Amino acid sequence: MIDGIIEAIQKMLTTQFLNGAKFALTQTNSVFGLGVKAVREQVAEGVSTFSPQLLDSLRTISNTAILPVAGLVITYIFCYEIYQFAVEHNKGVEFDISKLLWVIIRTSIMIELVTNSFNLVLAFFDLGTWIANKVPNSVLDMPEGLVDNIISSVKDTDFGQAMMLMLLCFIALIIALVMVGAIFLVAWTRLITIFLYITVAPLPVATLLNKDWIGTIGQSYFKNIIALMLQGFFMLVCLVIYSGILVKASEIISNSGNGLYALVLVLVTMVTLVFSLLKTHSLAKSVVGAM
């Protein structure tokens, strides 16, 4: 009789442990899925449509604070080019009007580019949004039944494994909260960096007028712009890989019937995704050769 009572208590506690594990695992999946969804929506939404009011404010700041400085840079470079032109042609003795006209035409083109540099750089990120939207949303969906597969893999009579699973699930919930914080950190840091690059656009664009002296500033700037653009695409590719790994993990879980092993596998995929997202910027910079 006592054995029956103990068995009944263990079965009741096992059921409670499994319910607790299911709750924690459901919350873990929901919280982490929220972070994944936020990354996907932010990259797909693009910069232009994120906040029109913020974009207008940054445009005003760029036109009133950065554009005049860029104008001074263009003026200085133009004077420097004229000086170089005079020195190279025996202090003006050998005068070639065609080369002088080319300097004037090139400066005029640069003035037009600097004036519209805000829209020019913004177009790069619109292109990045177009590239990111080519990734189908269907491949980013999480596999269904993952939580149920983990919970059902533990027998309702296995008291020790149920208790261990519940503890691990709550630990997984804490880890997921930290991981989601890291995901939002990557996403928001990228967005803020993009806005900063767009705001200061006239200044580095103005340096492109001189290719031998400070033109490398503008070249480096556009390399970093392209890197930020590609970072969004790489982030979506990471999500695609993460989703594919989870699908494979779900199959392994169904075949193995080991809930603890399955939970560790899910946690590893989460941590792997976060570390991959953290490295997307450096990877994108290495692709375009940005410093």
- Whether the model clears a pTM of 0.75, i.e. scores above it, the answer is yes
Q: What is the pLDDT of residues 86-118, one digit of tens each?
A: 776 655 556 667 777 887 888 888 888 899 989
- Determine the distance from the C-alpha atom of residue 79 to the mean position of all C-alpha atoms in its chain, rounded to a whole number: 41
Alpha carbons 29 and 31: distance in angstroms, whole number: 6
Q: What percent of the chain has pLDDT over 90?
A: 7
Could you tell me the two tokens for 58? 């940054």
Phi-psi group of 90: left, alpha or beta (phi > 0 → left; psi -120 to 50 → alpha; rest → beta): left
Q: What gap in Å lies between CA 138 and CA 145, rounded to an integer?
A: 17
Cα-based torsion angle of the residue sequence 145, 146, 147, 148 in order, rounded to the nearest 10 degrees: 40
Segment 65-78 mean pLDDT: 89
Residue-level pLDDT at 87: 72
Q: Give pLDDT, residue 198.
A: 92
Q: Give residues with Cβ within 8 angstroms of 214, minimum separation 6.
A: 77, 207
At 158 the three-state DSSP class reads coil
Give residue limits of the domains in the chain: 2-68+116-288
Lowest mean pLDDT among 12-16, 39-43, 281-285: 12-16
User: How many helices and strands (H and E) does the chain possess?
Assistant: 11, 0
Query: Which one has a higher pLDDT value, 260 or 227?
Result: 227
Please tell me what DSSP assigns to residue 136.
Answer: -
Burial (CB < 10 A; 0-12, 13-18, 19+), residue 242, is: buried
Confidence of residue 64 (pLDDT cuts 50, 70, 90): very high
93 CB burial (10 A radius; 0-12, 13-18, 19+):
exposed
Nearest CA to 85 among 210, 182, 181, 199? 210
